[in-house]
Structure 1
């Protein structure tokens, strides 16, 4: 019998049952045992309270001494270790702001108690600064109570606490969050975790015991809807991230209940209805019915709703405006008379109007949409509404001072050169958004906040930019596999915020530096590269690279080695496109095997290639990994022969486009065409010839198996061509957020002559694959079967494994 269990309710965050013991703060005790000055009282109140005028009087004076001492016995961290966290040091100039930051840094470290204070008083012609703190408890051990689903060892490893560490509020909150997540991922949605201390015999040490109320294990078996007369339950389930338990639940994690996610799903359902015109949709209740036994729940989730009437727009209008007329604003709207009402389009139009005003200096412009019901269409039954946008225009402003804070490593000029606004420019809200996005896209900061604030100059607004630095260097070591290069070890060092000109730290200049190496059965290569995206402080990227490669995967009949260097200049044209000029000088060596057919012996030898290439690229994709919409297009032309042994020229065009369809499915087309020719009685060498086959074009054929071949000259391998074309059609379906299933069809050809794009030698294949977004990168696994073979070598169906980067 199915029985109702409970109505859905929103759960608040669970507070800890115990807090760190703290000494009472006495405000009548000065730093040296005397009655406290106003400045000392302010410091006793701790960071974030503001600064008193008397404190500002010390600003700029030299710091004569900095002391760190404990308020009582039981010191747990050495004074020297705490001093190393302070920016305030003897010899520096006193700054109230820096001292407040020092206090915050001490508290965030977790090494001291929460009532740490600081006092400052005159010392000769300078000041003496004293930090006074209570000892922080140290962790003796970790225990658990109430856990039956997991043993103590599992939970101890999961919470992340280690003996001997300082017990800060931050560390304990993090441990609780990890334990809750651990249980919730194991399908215990209502777990509650609190903690308490137990004294130990060691002074300054305490044990922490986590008290766990696991609740019942629960799975969503079915999601039902009541009252959805016009939208199917299937479509509504697609909107929700909470899914019914299915046969792939061990991969998809479907059926799991996350209370916060359920709240988000309910909000998304309302938004979905309102974007379909159901302005007055209402969620009546959410019920759960349990068909499980014992300590495991098998739940049916029933969502009852009232759709209400569907609405269309009768008229869109504007209230009184002075700066711009309605005729100027209406063309930018996304919703017009006669359209089905959409809450998202109303929000988009409000944003558009504010940006329209903001781009012309009216930074304070605000927009209020007034939605008025005006009746019912007797023919269709649709409700009729008028939308009136009331605009409070405000006044135009210019940019005053631009202040930067938080960039402790990144140089000021790296941030300022990304800003589309400068002092005295007209204030532009669109440019402020652009600045925010550009700084976020640098990937140098965990947090970026660009805000306009009042200025002391009438008619001006200052801009405050606050950032929080993040680690920009990385070391990657691992093992990888692809169907082309087989197994290989890789290692790489990357610093994306490099500074070649600052030899003290080599960090903060906004440049990119990388050292990479791979060693495997089929390849050995290494490279060192450096790119300055603002060369000579201009929007001009200058890059250079030194590289070496030794590869055997191109053929069973020869090895290929090349090394050299490259330099490039890249100039943006707009926000989405750029031109690039690159020069490469590289030495090639083709080493034919003893049993190689005659064609490969004809290619044997050393070649010096001096190559220059010009390309144009436009990229409108919404993401580089798993793009859902937009496209990328590239056209290029190259020339070899500036002093080298290779005398060729080449042209190419590549493009891809993505469409996000119903149910988050993605349809994409990826295509490319190329041609190469030689001049001056020279032939096109094997490393410049064109091939298809492998994971990146014709997936039903082995790497380089699509090209002209002659068994008498090249045995069972191709000789490459001088003209090529391919096109891939792919449709992918989401399984879970990080996993997609794809079906695809590839078509293409390689012809022996230059500028020969005839389709008489066309080949094709079809197949199925997986798209996995893993921590190591986007991995693709495909299986494809040839259809048309023509001049390709057919070796049957092919598995392809590769990192699916779309850069």
Structure 2
């Protein structure tokens, strides 16, 4: 159809040229309008669209423009012209064939893979639209493209236009689809690769293996741009290892008679090149030896493109951190194909040193200037340190307030001064989340959360742009209810000092009783260094046991005393807690390396008043070690002590320590490891039975070892070993009666909806009463 349109335009041009030469300077005496097709012809519409008029001099160029204008109106399938000699000039005859008026919806035949509604949407024709072969040709091409995306490479689509009423110019359209065989993209084949495995190459072009479920959902056809991108990525991968002349060819191929496809990647790796002579030229302001310390390339090492880039960036940062914003580094490479060497001359253009005059922030339509400025590491009047500016850009980007953050210097009237321009683009910072979770402990749990990450407490009427954080959240289920309002001011008193205020209410069902906590907490936090932080918290909390199902008196096996849940008093607790945090993890949600350690101590009561006089000390540590091929070893340890003092004789049940269950010792029943109380019942038959209840303790130590192995993207298997116990007395760590378990699990790292399934085998119990619970299932965040 496109060829027909082009042919029509060419024909019009040729006809106009011939007529122009034959009838040049002739006078148009009459213009005749003829309808040679169906339907009515609007003669007034035609005459309004032609520039040639009766009495005017004939010009072929104007005639050509008239025909194009009439075709462009969309009303006509064909426009013809003819010239007839008459007395004193010529008669100009325009002939028209109208497009037909579609009277009813397009009819379909033969389509199976695509539903009627989908095909009709692609065609996009409705009753009342004008149709002809050209219109259908363009619309049907969209159907063909969709079929090819669905792996029907040999699809054929034809159409028929049947005239219904010649006088009215109406018609119906039938579109026939011959789908052909459904071709599948079956495989990716790499040939010629020795340095990198097929697995490495698949990862480079982001293609999973055929047995990966993600492969089944992956796009199976590639356009020319995507094929070129895959080729460039593989070639770039080889360049990182010094194979700078590697040749890569990527193409789709038909691999069987059904038309199934494969992606054929043919690689000629070439030879390994190494760095030869490394020189620095153009450096006059600083000694070459000082600059060379920032060059990571070494003579004799593989000529890696990554090392070359890092060397260029190292020299650039050397100058940029000293205010030479106009400096430039260009690596000039001379390749020795015989010796397989790459000689590099780092050519430096030094420029002049600059200082910062003004810092201008642009694009922040909601966020206040000071929220951005307080995060900057550079200030007006200082040397324009490009390294610090780049770090500032990352810090501002990590705030989460902006889609993009870009900085650049601009010249001023003073030669050695520059303005720093910081361009930002605001993004939505408020979120409303509804989610559900499941665990073998809490069962089903629903969650609602409303957050504003760029809140402004006094910013009427939108309350955004102040850099504060507000969160309203609730969790509700059959065993747990939790409600919280949280507010954080990260720059309290305009200092790098965070102030947090939390109001909360929780109600947890532990089968025999419920524990309700309600309180308010205020927290001051300050970073000590990039990885270390200190927090001081004061809280007032009301704790109580309610809905006690078992009011019997039990025998405490740990100290031989009598115990009843109904003896636990309601208490109001005033607490100060100091915490030191160290965090070097590479990812807070799915870490593969680094450490997170917290050391804390808290004091309740005493000079702080209220009902509870206890103190608590604790250490928690997580260490992550990356191994090979994405394997990770995680070590987690926890040690805590809680003790009463002053007028309080015992630590309340609500403040004791428990172990057992999914997040502590897997394979054991929830909170079942540790001290217990027992009650025996005698029956008339003379038989007896015993009932026990976990009591918790005042000392606790535990450790987890977990080894995770990635199977496919976002799916890992885990092997684990857990060990630990709880002891009744404080500081009474008896490591000869530790509970131990081992097992395996599955990790589905789905964004926002992680799933964790473990099966644990008990290796050793802490006592004979402790029960097993092999399955641990968590769906949703690890709350």
The answer to whether the superposition gives a TM-score over 0.5 is yes
1:224-263 equivalences under 5 Å are 224-246=189-211, 248-249=212-213, 253=217, 256-259=220-223, 262-263=227-228
Matched residue of 1:336: which SS?
coil
**Partner residue, 1:81:** none
Matched, 1:425 2:382: yes
Report the alpha carbon displacement of residue 533 of structure 1 after superposing the two structures with TM.
Answer: 0.6
- Separation (CA, whole Å) in 2 of partners of 1:609 and 1:778: 35
Matched, 1:594 2:550: yes
Deviations 1:602-638 (A, max 9, x none): 6522112211111122322232222333332222222
Report the alpha carbon displacement of residue 284 of structure 1 after superposing the two structures with TM.
Answer: 4.0
Evaluate the alpha carbon distance shift between residue 232 and residue 425 of structure 1 in structure 2; reply closer, same or farther with a 3 A threshold: same
Tell me which moved more, 527-536 or 430-439: 430-439
- Separation (CA, whole Å) in 1 of partners of 2:569 and 2:712: 51
Query: For 2:636, which of 664, 667, 670 is the aligned residue?
Result: 670
- Separation (CA, whole Å) in 2 of partners of 1:226 and 1:634: 51
Report the alpha carbon displacement of residue 522 of structure 1 after superposing the two structures with TM.
Answer: 0.8
Deviations 1:345-370 (A, max 9, x none): 22223223322322221222222234
Matched, 1:298 2:260: yes
Deviations 1:21-78 (A, max 9, x none): xxxxxxxxxxxxxxxxxxxxxxxxxxxxxxxxxxxxxxxxxxxxxxxxxxxxxxxxxx
Contact kept, 8 Å, 1:699 with 1:784, in 2: the verdict is yes
Matched, 1:800 2:782: no
- Separation (CA, whole Å) in 1 of partners of 2:180 and 2:312: 45
**Partner residue, 2:756:** 780
Evaluate the alpha carbon distance shift between residue 549 and residue 281 of structure 1 in structure 2; reply closer, same or farther with a 3 A threshold: same
Contact kept, 8 Å, 1:369 with 1:387, in 2: the verdict is yes
Matched, 1:399 2:361: no
**Partner residue, 1:575:** 530
Matched residue of 1:426: which SS?
coil
Report the alpha carbon displacement of residue 185 of structure 1 after superposing the two structures with TM.
Answer: 8.7
**Partner residue, 1:768:** 744
Contact kept, 8 Å, 1:189 with 1:257, in 2: the verdict is no
Evaluate the alpha carbon distance shift between residue 654 and residue 292 of structure 1 in structure 2; reply closer, same or farther with a 3 A threshold: farther
Deviations 1:622-668 (A, max 9, x none): 32222333332222222222213222222222222334444344333
Matched, 1:732 2:708: yes
Query: For 2:232, which of 267, 273, 283 is the aligned residue?
Result: 267
**Partner residue, 1:709:** 676
- Separation (CA, whole Å) in 2 of partners of 1:179 and 1:586: 66
- Separation (CA, whole Å) in 2 of partners of 1:774 and 1:180: 35
Matched, 1:649 2:612: no
- Separation (CA, whole Å) in 2 of partners of 1:581 and 1:144: 74
**Partner residue, 1:545:** 502
Evaluate the alpha carbon distance shift between residue 221 and residue 684 of structure 1 in structure 2; reply closer, same or farther with a 3 A threshold: same
Deviations 1:239-284 (A, max 9, x none): 44223432x5378635834546554443332233222232322214
Evaluate the alpha carbon distance shift between residue 719 and residue 338 of structure 1 in structure 2; reply closer, same or farther with a 3 A threshold: farther
Report the alpha carbon displacement of residue 565 of structure 1 after superposing the two structures with TM.
Answer: 0.2
Matched, 1:494 2:460: no
Deviations 1:312-348 (A, max 9, x none): 4455443342333343344444443443332212222
Matched residue of 1:711: which SS?
strand
Matched, 1:560 2:521: no
Matched residue of 1:726: which SS?
strand
**Partner residue, 2:270:** 308
Evaluate the alpha carbon distance shift between residue 665 and residue 370 of structure 1 in structure 2; reply closer, same or farther with a 3 A threshold: farther
Matched residue of 2:358: which SS?
strand
- Separation (CA, whole Å) in 2 of partners of 1:588 and 1:496: 31
**Partner residue, 1:324:** 286
- Separation (CA, whole Å) in 2 of partners of 1:281 and 1:740: 34
- Separation (CA, whole Å) in 2 of partners of 1:292 and 1:308: 34
Contact kept, 8 Å, 2:402 with 2:426, in 1: the verdict is yes
Deviations 1:679-718 (A, max 9, x none): 2353222222222223323222233223233435994442
Contact kept, 8 Å, 2:653 with 2:695, in 1: the verdict is yes
1:14-93 equivalences under 5 Å are none
**Partner residue, 1:369:** 331
Unmatched 5+ residue regions in structure 1?
A: 1-16, 18-140, 161-177, 194-209, 378-382
Taking only aligned residues, the RMSD between alpha carbons, in angstroms, comes to 4.0
Contact kept, 8 Å, 2:405 with 2:422, in 1: the verdict is yes
1:428-577 equivalences under 5 Å are 428-552=385-509, 555-577=510-532
- Separation (CA, whole Å) in 1 of partners of 2:154 and 2:614: 69
Evaluate the alpha carbon distance shift between residue 386 and residue 420 of structure 1 in structure 2; reply closer, same or farther with a 3 A threshold: same
- Separation (CA, whole Å) in 1 of partners of 2:122 and 2:278: 56
Matched residue of 2:570: which SS?
strand
Contact kept, 8 Å, 1:400 with 1:462, in 2: the verdict is yes
Contact kept, 8 Å, 2:576 with 2:602, in 1: the verdict is yes
The count of residues paired between Structure 1 and Structure 2 equals 627
- Separation (CA, whole Å) in 1 of partners of 2:612 and 2:123: 62
Evaluate the alpha carbon distance shift between residue 231 and residue 509 of structure 1 in structure 2; reply closer, same or farther with a 3 A threshold: closer
- Separation (CA, whole Å) in 1 of partners of 2:105 and 2:325: 54
Deviations 1:178-228 (A, max 9, x none): 9999989966799999xxxxxxxxxxxxxxxx9999998554433322222
Contact kept, 8 Å, 2:230 with 2:250, in 1: the verdict is no
- Separation (CA, whole Å) in 2 of partners of 1:571 and 1:180: 62
Larger Rg, first or second structure (1 or 2): 2
Evaluate the alpha carbon distance shift between residue 776 and residue 729 of structure 1 in structure 2; reply closer, same or farther with a 3 A threshold: same
Matched residue of 1:774: which SS?
coil
**Partner residue, 1:28:** none
What is the TM-score of this pair, normalised by structure 2? 0.71
Matched, 1:288 2:253: yes
Matched residue of 2:545: which SS?
strand
Evaluate the alpha carbon distance shift between residue 674 and residue 180 of structure 1 in structure 2; reply closer, same or farther with a 3 A threshold: farther
Evaluate the alpha carbon distance shift between residue 496 and residue 231 of structure 1 in structure 2; reply closer, same or farther with a 3 A threshold: closer
Contact kept, 8 Å, 2:242 with 2:272, in 1: the verdict is yes
Report the alpha carbon displacement of residue 512 of structure 1 after superposing the two structures with TM.
Answer: 0.8
What is the TM-score of this pair, normalised by structure 1? 0.69
**Partner residue, 1:624:** 588
Matched residue of 2:764: which SS?
coil
Contact kept, 8 Å, 2:207 with 2:215, in 1: the verdict is no
